[in-house]
């Protein structure tokens, strides 16, 4: 947690540079935004913190980040499905574990320190239907975590010029 008690907002007191205020940083899906709120310019420590919180909330809304004090997961290069919270894996299909089949594992964290996980069989439902079901489960998990489902990730791939 930041020194302010608010996510993404830190206190800056630099005597040599006469800089006193709050530094706000908002990062989401590769976009980084930051702004400094000076105590002197805002009319005091409390007023600058209030302005910093307001700016952070507006910026998060503008870029589509859900307002939460929790961390927001992003796509990892190790992710095998390309979707946050869903990975393709092999799982035992029989109780003795001798036969294995492909599944989509779905993860979400309804409360800090609590993990929920389930899987959808690709063997049983087929590739497309299993992925559709996994996405629906993940969206429901995001609603539990953030109060709303996250917007789809914008592709960062560059289009080829012809």
- Identify the pLDDT of residue 56: 94
Domain boundaries, the chain: 9-63, 86-146
How confident is the model at residue 10, as a pLDDT? 92
pLDDT tens per residue across span 49-60: 999 999 999 999
What is the arrangement of strands in the sheet containing 9-14, beginning at the earlier edge strand?
9-14, 19-28, 31-38
Q: What is the pLDDT, as a whole number, of residue 100?
A: 85
Residue 156 scores a pLDDT above 50? no
How would you write the chain as a 3-class SS string?
A: CCCCCCCCEEEEEECCCCEEEEEEEEEECCEEEEEEEEHHHHCCHHHHHHHHHHHHHHHHHHHCCCCCCCCCCCCCCCCCCCECCEEEEEEECCCCCCCEEEEEEEEECCCCCCCEEEEEEHHHHCHHHHHHHHHHHHHHHHHHHHCCCCCCCCCCCCCCCC
- The structure tokens listed for 76 are 């990892």
Farthest-apart Cα atoms in the chain, separation? 69
The string of pLDDT tens digits covering residues 101-133 is 899 999 888 877 788 899 999 999 999 999 999
Q: What is the pTM of this model?
A: 0.54
pLDDT digits (tens, 9 = 90+) for 51-86: 999 999 999 999 888 887 776 666 667 666 777 888
Per-residue pLDDT at 112: 74
């Amino acid at each position: 947690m930041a020194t302010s008690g608010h996510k993404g907002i830190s206190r800056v007191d630099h005597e040599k540079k006469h800089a006193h205020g709050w530094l706000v940083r908002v990062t989401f899906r590769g976009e980084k935004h930051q702004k400094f709120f000076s105590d002197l310019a805002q009319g005091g420590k409390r007023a600058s913190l209030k302005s910093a919180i307001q700016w952070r909330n507006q910026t998060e809304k503008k870029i589509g980040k859900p307002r939460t004090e929790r961390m927001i997961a992003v796509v990892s290069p190790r992710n095998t499905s390309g979707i946050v919270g869903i990975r393709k894996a092999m799982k035992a299909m029989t109780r003795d574990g001798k036969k294995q089949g492909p599944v989509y594992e779905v993860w979400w964290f309804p409360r800090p320190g609590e993990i929920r996980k389930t899987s959808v069989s690709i063997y049983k439902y087929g590739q497309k239907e299993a992925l559709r079901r996994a996405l629906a489960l993940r969206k429901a998990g995001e609603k539990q975590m953030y109060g709303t489902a996250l917007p789809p990730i914008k592709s960062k791939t560059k289009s080829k010029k012809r």
